[in-house]
């Protein structure tokens, strides 16, 4: 409008028709006032982010201000505030629907891969999945007490239970309360499962010894037929009984390594030889302290939680300040680092799994992606074969 105002002034000065200049200047002033009123200053735009925005059924409210029914009368900062609220509602509804669908499937991974599991959602709302057979073989969860380690471990077990038959070895070294529901859940599904805790160290030592014998026995069995790994063993003879993967879950890993004399040797064997033999470890710990360097070097997937110590974060490959997922009601924030790919991903995961664990064994088993049906015979191998 400025060029037209200048032209009107020139026209009024040259012809004496000043009414044209006055009309043009009045329009310019009115436009400037309207822009000022609608846009406001930049500080007020920022302040609106702290105001509560809501819909009462007929009108929108931003803070104490009730907006007009016609959107064209809203100020730009008010419009942005309402649109941001609508986007947040849409994302929340999308997350709730996605979580409901995951619950109905037992948190099954969508990928048809062996030992695939669902971890949660990224900040963009995409599903984050992991395959222990492809991305593992092992995973460690590190974070302070109360950060959600046991909840994520339970989620991973629940999801893995849908991916195929396996042998389960559970070690819960904070009294057994965290993994007891998981053991019951797996038992009702017909899975072979053993649970040990720090309340019975003799039983825990026997469980470690049995796991070490399983590793030695599988090595001898594979060597006897010249198989490179347990997958080659399963595929080399269609009539041969299949070796099921062994899933070892440990809550409070360092406490187990300290309390059971045979545990360090057992889990070093799991870490170093587990990939070939189909033995996979998922463990939680509050810090990296107490976990041997050899074991940690062979654990490819590392997960950290809110409150992680910066030294531990650096040791696990994240850097001193890892970027965690979005925090929202009922969800916890975490990040996973692939030590081989040197790549980290922030994600969020649901905390409440009680509904799924209460429906013990309700969900039907599905294929595990390796072409093996769940009712195929599996074999457990000890040191004598």
The answer to whether residues 119 and 336 touch, using CB atoms and an 8 Å cutoff, is yes
Q: State whether 115 and 261 are in the same domain.
A: yes
Q: State whether 312 and 221 are in the same domain.
A: yes
Q: State whether 62 and 177 are in the same domain.
A: no
384 is a domain residue: no
Of residues 216 and 39, the one with the higher pLDDT is: 216
Q: State whether 197 and 338 are in the same domain.
A: yes
Q: Which residues of 219-229 are buried (b: 16+ CB within 10 A; e: fewer)?
A: bebbeeeebee
Q: Any alpha helices (H) in the chain, and if so which ranges?
A: 2-15, 18-39, 42-47, 76-104, 132-135, 149-160, 180-188, 201-225, 230-236, 253-259, 263-277, 293-297, 310-315, 354-358
Which 8-state DSSP code applies to residue 304? E
Burial class (CB in 10 A: 0-12, 13-18, 19+), 131: middle
Ramachandran region of residue 245, left (φ > 0), alpha (ψ -120 to 50) or beta? beta
The answer to whether residues 320 and 310 touch, using CB atoms and an 8 Å cutoff, is yes
Q: Return the number of other C-beta atoms located less than 10 Å from residue 333's C-beta.
A: 21
Q: State whether 173 and 257 are in the same domain.
A: yes
Q: Any alpha helices (H) in 40-75, and if so which ranges?
A: 42-47
The residue among 152, 333, 133, 149 whose CA lies nearest residue 254 is 149
DSSP class per residue in 98-165: HHHHHHHTTS--SS--TTEEEEEE-TTS-EEEEEHHHH-S-EEEE--TTSSHHHHHHHHHHHHTTS--
The Cα–Cα gap between 252 and 258 comes to: 10
Q: State whether 127 and 168 are in the same domain.
A: yes
DSSP class per residue in 149-197: HHHHHHHHHHHHTTS---EEEEEE-SSSTTTHHHHHHHHHTT-EEEEEE
149 is a domain residue: yes
The Cα–Cα gap between 176 and 185 comes to: 14
Where among 59, 77, 104 does a domain terminate? 104
- Tokens at residue 39, please? 């846009």
pLDDT tens digits along 72-92: 888 888 888 888 888 878 777
Give the pLDDT confidence score for residue 165 in this predicted structure. Answer: 86
Q: Is pLDDT of 248 > 50?
A: yes
48 is a domain residue: yes
Work out how many domains the chain is built from and give that number. Answer: 2
- Tokens at residue 247, please? 């899933």
The residue among 153, 194, 167, 362 whose CA lies nearest residue 280 is 167
The answer to whether residues 160 and 166 touch, using CB atoms and an 8 Å cutoff, is yes
pLDDT tens digits along 287-325: 999 999 999 999 999 999 999 999 999 999 999 999 999
Q: State whether 158 and 205 are in the same domain.
A: yes
Q: Is the dihedral of CA 70, 72, 76, 81 positive or negative?
A: positive
pLDDT tens digits along 1-45: 677 777 777 777 777 777 767 777 787 777 777 666 555 444 444
Q: Is pLDDT of 141 > 70?
A: yes
Q: State whether 332 and 351 are in the same domain.
A: yes
Give the pLDDT confidence score for residue 364 in this predicted structure. Answer: 35
What average pLDDT does the chain have?
83
Which 8-state DSSP code applies to residue 198? T
Q: Which residues lie across from 117 on neighbouring strands? A: 130
pLDDT band at 179 (very low <50, low <70, confident <90, very high): very high
The Cα–Cα gap between 25 and 27 comes to: 5
Q: Is the dihedral of CA 350, 354, 355, 358 positive or negative?
A: positive
The residue among 47, 50, 68 whose CA lies nearest residue 59 is 68
pLDDT tens digits along 87-122: 878 777 776 777 777 778 788 888 888 899 999 999
- Which residue do the tokens 């991305």 mark? 135
Could you give the C-alpha distances from 314 to 133, 144, 300, in angstroms and in order? Answer: 26, 15, 15
16 is a domain residue: no
Where among 104, 138, 158 does a domain terminate? 104
Q: Is pLDDT of 214 > 60?
A: yes
Q: Which domain holds residue 141?
A: 109-379
Q: State whether 82 and 225 are in the same domain.
A: no
Percent of the chain with pLDDT over 90: 48
Task: Tell me whether the omega of the peptide bond preceding residue 327 falls within 30 degrees of 0, making it cis.
Answer: no
Q: State whether 326 and 184 are in the same domain.
A: yes
Where among 104, 128, 147 does a domain terminate? 104
Q: State whether 338 and 271 are in the same domain.
A: yes
Q: State whether 222 and 94 are in the same domain.
A: no
- ∠ at Cα 228 (223, 232), nearest 5°? 110
> pTM of this prediction?
0.73
18 is a domain residue: no
329 is a domain residue: yes
CATH of the domain at 295: 3.40.50.300
323 is a domain residue: yes
208 is a domain residue: yes
């Amino acid at each position: 409008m400025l060029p037209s105002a200048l032209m009107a002034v020139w026209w009024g000065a040259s012809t004496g028709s000043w009414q044209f200049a006055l009309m043009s200047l009045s329009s310019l002033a009115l436009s400037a006032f309207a822009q000022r009123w609608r846009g406001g200053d930049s500080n007020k735009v920022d302040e609106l982010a702290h105001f509560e925005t809501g819909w009462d059924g007929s009108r929108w409210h931003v803070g104490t201000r009730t907006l007009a029914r016609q959107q064209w009368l809203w100020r730009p900062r008010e419009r942005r505030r309402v649109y941001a609220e609508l986007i947040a509602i849409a994302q929340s509804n999308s997350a709730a629907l996605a979580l409901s669908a995951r619950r109905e499937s037992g948190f099954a991974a969508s990928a048809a891969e062996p030992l695939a599991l669902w971890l949660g959602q990224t900040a963009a709302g995409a599903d984050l999945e992991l395959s222990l057979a492809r991305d593992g073989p092992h995973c460690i969860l590190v974070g302070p007490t109360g950060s959600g380690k046991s909840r994520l471990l339970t989620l991973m077990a629940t999801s893995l239970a849908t991916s195929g038959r396996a042998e389960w070895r559970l070690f819960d070294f904070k009294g057994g309360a965290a993994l007891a529901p998981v053991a019951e859940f797996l038992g009702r599904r017909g899975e072979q499962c053993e649970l040990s805790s720090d309340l019975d160290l003799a039983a825990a030592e026997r469980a470690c010894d049995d796991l070490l014998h399983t590793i030695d026995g599988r090595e001898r069995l594979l060597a006897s037929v010249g198989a490179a790994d347990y997958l080659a063993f399963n595929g080399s003879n269609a009539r041969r009984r299949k070796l099921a993967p062994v899933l070892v879950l440990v809550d409070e890993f360092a406490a187990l390594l300290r309390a059971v004399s045979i545990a360090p040797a057992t889990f070093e064997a799991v870490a170093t030889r587990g990939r070939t033999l189909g033995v996979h470890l998922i463990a939680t710990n509050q810090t990296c302290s107490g976990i041997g360097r050899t074991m940690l070097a062979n654990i490819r997937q590392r997960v950290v939680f809110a409150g992680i110590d910066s030294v531990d974060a650096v040791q696990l490959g994240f850097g001193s300040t890892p970027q965690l997922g979005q925090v929202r009601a009922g969800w916890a924030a975490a990040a996973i680092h692939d030590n081989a790919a040197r790549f980290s991903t922030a994600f969020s995961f649901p905390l409440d799994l009680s509904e799924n664990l209460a429906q013990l064994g309700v969900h039907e088993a599905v294929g595990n992606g390796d072409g093996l049906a769940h009712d195929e015979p599996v074999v457990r191998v000890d040191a004598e074969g």
